[in-house]
């Protein structure tokens, strides 16, 4: 009788311990799963208007937005322009009435004769250097002189390079200079677009390329040219002779963005293409992580004229099996690869349950 009671007591204790272990297992899984859940506002979880992830740099869309058409700023010449004979400059110096808001021409010897300050050899100076020289000379008469110099007439007719060139600015057009010759001088920044735009004034004739667009209202013609085509000499006609006051501009490279469960989050350059396949973008991002939900990949595409995006869902797992069609991505698209929480649950379950399995077997064993 006493033995039976002991057996019953041991059995009750075993059941109690087993129940406690199961409860701790369930609670442990819930805690780990909750920790794995992204917090509200986690950048991997798209909700509403999605901000674009970055390829190691601030958000191009949020900071620069849709790049507007480049306007030629009034101070474009300042980064690189070197003064020479026959250039005409306008000097603004409010504290010195003798030279303020008056144009002066640099003579054939490179000198400029100014009231109050005398002769200055300006040829070979940049605008900043001439300003610094004038400030230094005017300090004899004015305590804190302010001087600003602009070029109002060039010694030779200029061409303008605007945007993401290595050395943007105004360059004198001396002789017959081709587009490739000038591009080798100004260079391109690493994140510049692979297409450049040339704008020409009507009085110098239309741009002699079949793709050129003439705007009779603005009295200009424009054309876009591929950098790759130029450098590889695929179409020699694109290497046009530049004309006076041509404006050559280049914007930022167009990207699609990848976020979520991929090896490398960031932007992928479309290079010179209008679209790029989703499979190629994912491959360039290093592929999926172990927890990726491949059959629920989302494309977040901008709605034109608004700040919102609409969602296109793609089964990339089927695509990679050769059963689906590849989806072309457009500039500004975001690919979001969600996490598979079913897979994560079983991984969490196995990590919590397996270490406890020997104890459970020991308890339930007869």
Contact 182, 240 (CB under 8 A): no
Tokens of 268: 């992928």
Residues 166 and 232 placed together within one structural domain of the fold: yes
Separation CA 258–CA 337 (nearest Å): 8
Single residue among 153, 175, 199 that ends a domain in this structure: 153
Residue 70 lies in a domain: no
Start-to-end CA distance of the chain, whole Å, equals 20
Tokens of 116: 């109050």
Q: Which DSSP string do the residues of 87-124 spell out, in sequence order?
A: -EEEEE-TT-TTTTTEEEE--TTSEEEETTTEEEE-TT
Query: What is the predicted pLDDT for the residue at 78?
Result: 53
pTM of the entire structure? 0.51
User: Could you give the count of Cα atoms lying within 13 Å of 307 in the half-sphere of its Cβ?
Assistant: 7
Residue 44 lies in a domain: no
Residues 244 and 266 placed together within one structural domain of the fold: no
Contact 69, 116 (CB under 8 A): no
Single residue among 250, 281, 312 that ends a domain in this structure: 250
Residue 115 lies in a domain: yes
Residues 98 and 147 placed together within one structural domain of the fold: yes
Residue 278 lies in a domain: yes
Residue 83 lies in a domain: no
Residue 264 lies in a domain: yes
Residues 228 and 300 placed together within one structural domain of the fold: no
Residues 322 and 349 placed together within one structural domain of the fold: no
Single residue among 133, 153, 173 that ends a domain in this structure: 153
The total number of structural domains in the chain stands at: 4
Domain span at 359: 2-36+343-364
The CATH number of the domain where 208 resides is what? 3.10.560.10
Q: What is the pLDDT along the chain (366 residues), one digit of tens a residue?
A: 555 554 444 545 455 545 555 555 554 545 444 444 444 334 344 434 444 443 333 343 333 433 333 333 444 445 467 888 888 899 999 988 889 999 999 998 899 999 988 899 999 888 889 999 999 999 988 888 999 998 888 877 889 999 999 999 888 887 788 999 999 989 998 888 888 999 999 999 999 999 899 999 999 999 999 888 888 877 888 999 999 899 999 988 888 899 988 899 888 887 767 788 888 888 888 988 888 888 889 999 988 778 888 899 988 888 888 887 888 888 889 999 998 766 555 555 556 555 666 656 656 565
């Amino acid at each position: 009788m006493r033995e039976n009671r002991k057996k019953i007591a041991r059995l009750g204790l075993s059941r109690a311990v087993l129940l406690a272990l199961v409860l701790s297992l369930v609670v442990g899984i819930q805690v780990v799963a909750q920790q794995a859940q992204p917090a509200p506002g986690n950048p991997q979880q798209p909700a509403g208007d999605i901000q674009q992830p970055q390829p190691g740099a601030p958000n191009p869309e949020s900071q620069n937005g849709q790049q507007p058409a480049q306007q030629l700023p009034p101070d474009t010449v300042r980064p690189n322009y070197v003064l020479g004979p026959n250039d005409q400059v306008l000097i603004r110096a409010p504290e010195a009435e003798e030279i303020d808001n008056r144009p002066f021409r640099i003579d054939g010897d490179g000198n400029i004769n100014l009231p109050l300050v005398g002769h200055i050899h300006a040829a070979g100076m940049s605008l900043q250097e001439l300003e610094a020289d004038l400030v230094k000379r005017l300090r004899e008469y004015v305590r804190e002189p302010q001087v600003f110099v602009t070029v109002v007439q060039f010694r030779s007719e200029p061409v303008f390079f605007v945007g993401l060139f290595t050395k943007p600015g105004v360059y004198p057009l001396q002789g017959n200079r081709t587009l490739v010759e000038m591009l080798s001088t100004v260079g391109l920044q690493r994140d510049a677009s692979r297409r450049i735009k040339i704008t020409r004034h009507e009085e110098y004739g239309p741009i002699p390329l079949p793709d050129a667009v003439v705007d009779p209202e603005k009295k200009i013609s424009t054309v876009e040219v591929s950098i790759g085509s130029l450098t590889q000499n695929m179409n020699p006609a694109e290497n046009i002779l530049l004309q006076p006051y041509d404006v050559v501009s280049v914007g930022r490279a167009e990207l699609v963005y990848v976020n979520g469960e991929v090896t490398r989050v960031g932007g992928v350059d479309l290079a010179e293409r209008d679209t790029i396949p989703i499979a190629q973008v994912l491959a360039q991002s290093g592929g999926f992580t172990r927890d990726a939900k491949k059959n629920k990949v989302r494309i977040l595409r901008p709605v034109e004229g608004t700040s919102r995006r609409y969602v296109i869902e793609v089964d990339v797992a089927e695509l990679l099996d050769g059963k689906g069609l590849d989806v072309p991505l457009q500039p500004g698209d975001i690919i979001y690869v969600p996490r598979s929480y079913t897979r994560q649950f079983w991984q969490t379950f196995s990590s919590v349950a397996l270490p406890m399995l020997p104890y459970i077997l020991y308890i339930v064993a007869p």
